[in-house]
A and B are shown apart, each in its own frame.
Chain A
Amino acid sequence: MNLDFSDDQKFLQDEARKFFDKEGGLTNTRKVMDESLSHDEALWGKVLELGWTGIRIPEEYGGLGLGHLELCVIAEEIGRALAPIPFSSSVYLFTETIIKYGSEEIKKNVLPKLVTGEIVGTYAVAEDMSAITESTLSCAVEGDSVTGAKIAVPDAELATHAVVLVKGTKGPELRLVDLNSDGVEISLQKNLDKSRSFYKVAFNNAQSSLLGDQGSGWESHVHIMDQAAVLFAFEQVGGSQQALDMAKEYAMERYAFGRQIGSYQAIKHKLADMYVAVTLAKSNCYYGAWALSSESSELPLAAATSRVSATKAFQLCAKENIQTHGGNGFTWEYDCHLFYKRSKVLSLNLGSEASWKEKLVSAMEKTNTLN
């Protein structure tokens, strides 16, 4: 029995934590919010220097050739630091799609540049204010030309390329589009978390290349979402743990009625509930990490379980962290709102809690014996 990360992976996680602390931690997140930036350019540059965008890219394409487990530990630290960088879009979603479904030519052209940062990627799915399905998909491809609009696309301004989920003649397809090409129009959309940026991307006969096979785009999309769900869940666990730690520190410092508020059971039990949620989420994420890294057929079940559990944990910890801070928690000055907002955005990025619960129960129905 070894449901744990290796010493090397734990070392990498430790380094990542120190790195984000040293680079300024939440002050970077605040800077992006206060100055209405799309991301923290300096921080992103240093992440590129460390080679983290190439963690999963094979060495022959200039990457580090490591596995998903290394990505999981970095994700947890990004989540803890609320790092305002396009890591999830470019790495968990775009890069993973190219590695899995790109032709040899595309891989040769794209992967090395993802390592250096010349290419930054994103992934475009949503079209309106509802969960997309195979039959509601409207953005379409004819020949290689994509036409239609995607909304809530993360990091599209910085991104040079996008994977776009489109309707093809034989069913859904994943398409690679150069966002600087003709027929692509990008406009910023306001959102709840100003430390992350989302855009409308309109395509008007934009040129594209097919990723994977025609007609199997939906299965590919679902697989990429399942993989990313585990990584997003690690970000959510990192954020939950940090929100719990903040609440705990404040409960020790703050006095009311002549004693530390952390000595009241109303606060103790609230924090214990947060600890329970984080622990369940973390253990589910370990299961997800195992399924992801071992390419297990249990990935759909494991991914949905990690995702739902981590979404619940982060939303609980973020809101109860504010509550523990009382009035201070509602101010701009205290950091509580940064976690509250990020917890909401992370819970929606790959589809809402309800849509992942639906995937979870579907996977349960398909599994004959749950143990």
Chain B
Amino acid sequence: MDFNDTPDQAKFRAKCKEWLDSNAKLKDAGKRINVESNLEELIAKAKVWQKKKYDAGWAMLHWPKEYGGINATPIERIIWGQEESKYDVPGSIFEIGLGMCGPVMMQYASEEQKERYLPPMAEGKEIWCQLFSEPSAGSDVAGLRSKAVKDGDEWVINGQKVWTSGAHYSDYGILVVRHDPDLEKHKGLTFFFVDMKSPGITVKPIKQITGTAGSGAGFNEVYFDDVRIPDSQRLGEIGDGWKVAITTLMNERLAVGDAKGADVNEALSLAKDKDDFGQLMIKNQAVRDKLADWFCEANGLKYTKFRTMSALSKGEAPGPEASITKIVSANKLQAIGNFGIDSGDMAGMLIDEEDGMSSFQAAWLGAPGLRIAGGTDEILKNIIAERVLGLPQDPRADKGLPFKDIPSGK
């Protein structure tokens, strides 16, 4: 047991460091990282950084060589991610494109399309988004209702998507829609990619519980009003939409990991510095009890990740242990945010005029979203129970029914 790189991994890490050192600045430890408030500036900076990485071959390590990648192993991707995260570089707005849209295009698009779309995606010239969830189809995303009707060589799309990250600045999107409501739920779906500038597409940012549309990666509603997509932009066969979608969903669940924000260290620092009931909070037994619980969770997640990395490092398939990450971290974030706010007692709800929300307040307000995005707590527990523990699926009220006959409520 050790935490060391193998010689090959160490060599790869050194290469990452060397390039990053000459192209970026290390994060300033004490400095609060400012979230860029100006969207255009954020996109411009992110594009410059992505282009720099692309030119040096770091942009999409895991892609195959023919599309500009280096066929990097999963452990090499992790090493790159670890090193890049130490530098003060723009947050990526390309994750969805490179992580989810790219792989789908590679698998299902024509050779010509791959040549046309993949390099600009990798280079950061064109941004992609993913159009799956709908107002009445969240956890049960296969219950989506946006319609595709064939008209000659084109399809006419009508309906509404929701929770689409980055739709407001995306150039293209991957889209799953219903081509036949007379078929069973999963069988009537077909998959496309679409030019987000097509006539009939309206993008509306969602005002979240924070009262704003969120920072760079904000969510949107996307309306389709007689939008025409050429049949050549269909990915997979007619009726294969669910099969194609499931590949990207698997990638999404892996991508949504640790909830970032106020953590146990921040709670510990607060408790060491702040008085409550006339003494330092850290002397309060109730506070100590919570700190111990959160440390066990945070540390457990850290070493769970290390176990996964150990398996990858040996070229083995990791076990299912990473499936616990989001459930544990999002709930912990919510609890720590709550703790930090409550430490202010009667005045805990007040927002500082100059500094704005504290990290605890931001955690508390953001955590409910993290418990839902990329699979709700409940769906993730179902997944653990069914796929990891092997328990049977719930009996389903929609099984075998044509989609149009499935009870839908409101």
Contact = CB atoms under 8 A, between A and B. Distances in A.
Contacts of A129: none
B299 A287 contact: yes
B299 A305 contact: yes
Nearest to A6: B1
Contacts of A289: 1
A252 to B, nearest CB: 7
B83 to A, nearest CB: 14
Contacts of A263: 391-395
Contact of A290 (B1, B272, B378, B392): B1
Given A1-B4, A271-B391, A357-B288, A276 B306 contact: no
Contacts of B386: 268
Interface stretch (B209-217, B222-230, B321-329): B321-329
B301 A280 contact: yes
A279 B300 contact: yes
Interface string B351-385: 00000000000000000000000000010111011
A83 B338 CA distance: 43
B156 interface: no
Given A4-B307, A4-B311, A370-B265, A268 B299 contact: no
Nearest to B296: A309
Nearest to A285: B303
Contacts of B306: 1, 3, 283, 286
B405 interface: no
B310 interface: yes
B304 interface: yes
B384 to A, nearest CB: 4
Contact of B388 (A275, A305, A360, A371): A275
B3 interface: yes
A283 B307 contact: yes
Given A263-B392, A275-B384, A282-B321, 20 more contacts: A1-B3, A1-B9, A1-B75, A1-B309, A1-B310, A3-B303, A3-B309, A3-B310, A262-B392, A269-B381, A271-B391, A272-B384, A275-B389, A283-B306, A290-B1, A290-B3, A293-B1, A305-B295, A357-B289, A360-B295
13 contacts: A2-B1, A2-B4, A2-B313, A264-B394, A269-B378, A272-B380, A282-B321, A283-B301, A293-B1, A357-B293, A358-B288, A364-B268, A369-B265
Name the 3 nearest CB pairs between A and B, nearest first. Answer: A280-B300, A268-B385, A272-B381
Interface of B: 1-5, 9, 75, 264-265, 268, 272, 282, 288-289, 291-293, 295-297, 299-304, 306-307, 309-311, 313-314, 321, 324, 327-328, 378, 380-382, 384-386, 388-395
